[in-house]
Copies of this chain bind each other. A is one copy, B any other.
Amino acid sequence: MKKPTIKDIAKRAKVGIGTVSRVINNSGYVSEETRKRIEKAIEELGYQPDPTARGLVSGLTGMISIVVPMIRTEFYDRLVETIDDFLAVNSYDTVIFPLLSEHRLQRFSSKGAFLYRTDGIIMASMPVHKLFDGGKVPTDRPVVLVDMYSNRYDCVYIDNVEIGKIAADVLLEHTANLYVLTFIEPDSIFTSGVFKKRVSGFKNVLRNNGIKFTKKRIFHSELDLHYAFTQATQILKEMESFPAGIFATCDLFGYGAILAAKNLGIEVGRDLFVIGVDDQSWSEDIGLTTVRQPVEDMSTTASEILLNRITKGKSCKKTKIKFDPIIIRRLSA
């Protein structure tokens, strides 16, 4: 009644355990005939190799950790799912570690944490240099960063300053009368600073084009549609002239802007131009022009790098791959 072991299979198939091991791992030569016998025995007994025992021998677990700040936001959903799928194909199990609180982070700071018992770690959007002592993730296992730059680790990232620049370029095609609707990240060790970077890229372009742009044209919102709607309404009411353009530092804010415009009878795409960031699943429906991050590509690339590190070992040189943002043009700009 207990779980069958490799011995049980060997006995039943009347072979040595070595041979069984060979067919399980598809290594070495096994005659077609005995292989069949063994496979039959495995089938009949419902045998499954014990990962723990395998781990003891190989020092590997067949698992990979993904650390993310949260899930159930589109960005991380897509990121995790892509990585998960890719690794599954390469027969790795993935374990997801959502950061829930600073409290929980503490446990991640111990070398013994389960997080680090896997064969490798992918960290998404984590400001590693701020998060850990000495900026070093407490593990000897390979670590790859996604959506975050680092000179210490392999990383796959996107330049958020560039996102702001692109947004500016697109809006400038229509008008130089521009506004920004953005979010002020609470100042914790978790903050990645992406919003600030996007805005700074945006301002750079305006400055280089000699366009006057003051703080008064920057509006803030919480990450909540209703709030964004209210703020966007505010912007629209304060506008001195049309046409105008709004750079929404995330699609949610772009949504708010479009709703506000509709509510006030302002025609989007003619009187008002809006560009968002992230290309959420619903952005197409509302016709929002947006700057997309190639999440899937970044995720896959990160996974590949990690697998290479695991199998090929650690060469000194760290890979840094920068991805380009993609403009998705729709009717709002």
A residues engaging B (CB < 8 A)?
48, 50-53, 55-56, 61, 63, 70-73, 77, 80-81, 84, 88, 93, 95-98, 100-101, 103-104, 107, 111-114, 117, 224-226, 229, 259
Contacts and interface: CB of A to CB of B under 8 A. Distances in A.
Contact of A226 (B56, B114, B226): B226
B52 A71 contact: no
Contacts of A71: 70-72, 98, 100
Contact of A72 (B70, B80, B107): B70
Contacts of A98: 71-72, 96, 98
Given A93-B114, A96-B97, 18 more contacts: A48-B112, A52-B56, A52-B61, A52-B117, A53-B56, A63-B114, A71-B71, A71-B98, A71-B100, A77-B100, A81-B100, A81-B101, A81-B103, A84-B104, A95-B114, A98-B98, A226-B226, A226-B229
Contacts of A107: 88
- 6 cross-chain pairs, A with B, having the tightest CB-CB distances, nearest first: A93-B114, A70-B72, A52-B55, A225-B226, A226-B226, A52-B56
A226 B100 CA distance: 26
Contacts of A88: 107
19 contacts: A50-B56, A52-B117, A53-B56, A56-B56, A70-B72, A71-B71, A71-B72, A71-B100, A72-B73, A72-B98, A80-B100, A81-B103, A84-B100, A84-B104, A93-B114, A224-B225, A226-B226, A226-B229, A226-B259
